[in-house]
């Protein structure tokens, strides 16, 4: 799954360099994640050398180390690692609504790990969503990418409130390279690099009311949040960048680098 994303990243570099043969080769390889999809179970599954799915299958199996089917995670957590092709991923399930339903199941599945060598890195479980382990960190933002931002807002508020505390044990997982902290900072601002190599930040739900980001060349970006109490699910209602309304899905790195004022109107 991760190699498929790596290949997608290589393809983008090749395209920028004008090496279109390499681009096409690696874009094809980037879609190889589909070969692991089992339509009967709705999970990405390991295969043997004959190309057959390994049996028996347990979506709660977790293993630690460098040998095994699901390393430092379970089928639930690793199956959603397709940050580079969310629409193609949804097609495997039959459409966006079906993938949204699968995401809903992720948060209600049993919070159990099976196996003789389960990974201690799988922490911060809500169902089978493991916020204490980085492979889960993009998953909530897939809701927005699929057109269900209110569901992203719901889980963002729950995770931020329950899994980030002051004190020596304030983080629910290992802050590898600062990732646990980085997720929180991006999330507080209201957007997140779901695919960190595509130059876009997917909107979630801002937890701050006002922030200033210092940009290069002495530019600044002010993030301003206007909250409305209405009888609706929490979600971002409208987004404006320097007075111009933009889609409530994502914002590009280039847009952010312009500086100015990013205004979000939210239902709180």
pLDDT for residue 167: 87
- What is the pLDDT confidence band of residue 67, given thresholds at 50, 70 and 90? confident
H or E segment to which residue 144 belongs: helix 139-145
Per domain, the residue ranges of the chain are 39-196
Q: Radius of gyration of the chain from Cα atoms?
A: 19
For residue 109, the Cα-to-chain-centroid distance in whole angstroms is 18
Query: Measured between alpha carbons, how far is 48 from 29 in angstroms, rounded to an integer?
Result: 19
Answer whether residue 66 shows pLDDT above 80: no
Task: Read off the pLDDT of residues 85-140 as tens digits, 9 standing for 90 and up.
Answer: 999 999 999 999 999 999 999 999 999 999 999 999 999 999 999 999 999 999 99
Tokens of 185: 């900072």
Sheet-wide strand order for 250-252: 191-192, 200-203, 250-252
């Amino acid at each position: 799954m991760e190699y498929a994303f790596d290949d997608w990243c290589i393809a983008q570099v090749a395209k920028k360099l004008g090496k279109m043969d390499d681009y096409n080769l690696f874009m094809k390889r980037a879609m190889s994640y589909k070969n692991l999809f089992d339509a009967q179970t709705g999970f990405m599954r390991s295969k043997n050398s004959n190309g057959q799915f390994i049996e028996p299958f347990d979506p709660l199996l977790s293993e630690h180390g460098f040998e095994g089917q699901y390393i430092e995670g379970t089928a639930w957590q690793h199956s959603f690692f397709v940050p580079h092709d969310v629409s193609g991923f949804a097609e495997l399930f039959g459409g966006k609504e079906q993938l949204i339903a699968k995401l809903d199941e992720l948060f209600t599945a049993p919070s159990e790990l099976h196996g003789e060598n389960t990974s201690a890195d799988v922490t911060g479980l809500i169902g089978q969503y493991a916020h204490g382990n980085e492979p889960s960190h993009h998953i909530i933002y897939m809701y927005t990418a699929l057109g269900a931002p209110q569901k992203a807002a719901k889980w963002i508020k729950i995770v931020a409130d329950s899994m980030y505390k002051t004190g020596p044990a304030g983080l629910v997982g290992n802050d590898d390279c600062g990732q646990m902290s980085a997720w929180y900072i991006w999330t507080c601002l209201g957007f997140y690099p779901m695919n960190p190599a595509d130059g876009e930040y997917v909107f979630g739900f801002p937890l701050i009311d006002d922030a200033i980001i210092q940009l290069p060349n002495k530019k600044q970006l002010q993030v301003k949040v206007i909250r409305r109490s209405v009888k609706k699910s929490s979600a971002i209602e409208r987004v404006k960048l320097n007075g111009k309304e933009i889609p409530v899905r994502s914002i590009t790195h280039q847009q952010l680098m312009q500086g100015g004022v990013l205004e979000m109107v939210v239902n709180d």
